[in-house]
Each structure stands twice: as structure tokens, then as C-alpha cells.
Amino acid sequence: MMRIGALVSGVMTAAAAAAPKKVAPQIWHFLGMPFEAPSMVAALFGCTVTRVIVGQSDKTSRWLVRVPVDVLTLGTTFVLVVERSPDVLAALALGIFVATLGATIIKVAERWGSKMLQVIVPDAAAPPPPPDPPAPPTLLKG
């Protein structure tokens, strides 16, 4: 009887040791901001791959425009993951979503910036008046 009890106890111990345990995700820090590493990797991967695909499909884009937009989308993705702490799948979708916005982020920022500039300095945001048109040439007959 003692052997069966020891056998059952040994099997239960081995089963408990082999059962998957809930592991806390790896926490990384960047400039003092903590974030979950798997979520950040998934989000930046989705953002990078989507920006590459968008860049390949756009035949007229120039590197002087694409590179800053790519950096801006990666930065926006990074900040959103740090702020929201999404799950891995949600972070991947977030990275893809931000990357598809791409140049739209710049347009939104320009509009927001011009509105803020109008509030701070009302005359600075107004476009300068057009110059006076030159006088028409006159033909002299002599």
C-alpha cells in the first residue's frame, strides 16, 4: 500500500512540475518608460512590415518623404504601446494600423499645429497678403 501512495505522490509531483505556469512578460525600459517586450516587438514588427509594403507599392514616393514618415510612425507606435500596454495581438494590430495611416499622421499634426499656433499667436498663422499686381505696360506711339 505504501508503494502505491508513493507512486501516486511522485506522479502528482511530476505532473505539477510539468504543468505550464503563468509567466510574467519581460519588462524593458527605454528612457525610464517601462513596457512589455513582447507587445513592443509585435507592434514595431507590424509597423515596419506595413511601412515597407506601403513603400514598395507607392512608385512615386521619395526617400526624403518616406524615411521621416517611417520614423514618425515607429515613434507613434512606440508611444501608444507604452501608454496603453496592449496584449501582443492588439499591439500587432496597433502597429499595422498606425503604419497604414503614415502620411495622414503628418497632415493631422499640421492641422493641429496650425490651430494651436492660431490660439497662441493669432496673426502668425495667417498667410501673408498677396503682393500688389504690377502695373500693365503702356505702349507709346510716337
Q: Please report the beta strands in 31-68, taking only residues with DSSP state E, as ranges in sequence order.
A: 33-36
| 59 in any annotated domain | yes
| 74 in any annotated domain | yes
Q: Compute the half-sphere exposure of residue 66: CA atoms within 13 Å on the CB side of its CA.
A: 15
| 85 in any annotated domain | yes
| 58 in any annotated domain | yes
Average pLDDT over residues 74-87: 92
Query: φ and ψ at 6, to 5 degrees?
Result: -65, -40
Q: List C-alpha distances in Å: 27 to 35, 39, 43.
A: 6, 10, 15
**Model pLDDT, residue 116:** 79
CB 80 within 8 A of CB 38: no
User: pLDDT digits over 91-119, tens only?
Assistant: 999 999 999 888 677 677 777 877 877 77
| 81 in any annotated domain | yes
Q: Is the pLDDT of residue 63 over 80?
A: no
Domain residues for the domain of 42 are 24-119
| 40 in any annotated domain | yes
| DSSP three-state, residue 36 | strand
- Full-model pTM: 0.58
Element (H, E) at 93: helix 88-101
**Model pLDDT, residue 47:** 93
Q: Which three cell numbers stand for residue 118?
A: 492660431
**Model pLDDT, residue 10:** 57
**Given the C-alpha cell 504601446, which residue does it identify?**
81
Q: Is the pLDDT of residue 52 over 80?
A: yes
Q: How many domains does the chain have?
A: 1
CB 92 within 8 A of CB 80: no
